[in-house]
Amino acid sequence: MKCGCGCACSTNALTDEQKKILAAMEQCGGPCGTKEIATATGLDAKALTSRIADLKKQGLADSPARCKHGITAEGLKALKG
C-alpha cells in the first residue's frame, strides 16, 4: 500500500528507519509498546508514533491491543526482502 506522498513507500522500498522499527517489532515476539520499540531502535518515542502510523497505513504493522504494536505478515515479508 502506498501513501502517495512521494516517500520511500512509493517505490515499496523500506527506509533504514522503517527496517529498524520492523526488526524491533519482530524481536519483541509479540505486541510491544512504543517505549520498547524506541529503546530498541534509539528513536525518539514521539517521532516513532508517527513512523508506526505510516507503517500501519502501508499494512506493515498493526496494533492488536491498545498502545501495543506488532509486525504483520506483510511487514515480515518486506523486512526479509
Q: How far apart are CA 23 and CA 53, in angstroms?
A: 16
Give the predicted TM-score (pTM) of the model.
0.83
Q: What's the CATH number where 33 sits? A: 1.10.10.10
Q: How far apart are CA 9 and CA 40, in angstroms?
A: 23
Quick check: is 3 in a domain?
no
pLDDT at 8 over 70: no
Where do runs of H (alpha helix) occur along 3-72? 16-28, 34-41, 45-57
Please write the tens of the pLDDT for every residue from 34-72.
999 999 999 999 999 999 999 999 999 999 999 999 999
Quick check: is 18 in a domain?
yes
What is the total count of domains within the chain? 1
Quick check: is 2 in a domain?
no
* The three three-digit cell numbers of residue 28, written as one number: 519483541
- Structural domain boundaries enclosing 68: 8-80
| Confidence label for 1 from pLDDT (cuts 50, 70 and 90) | very low
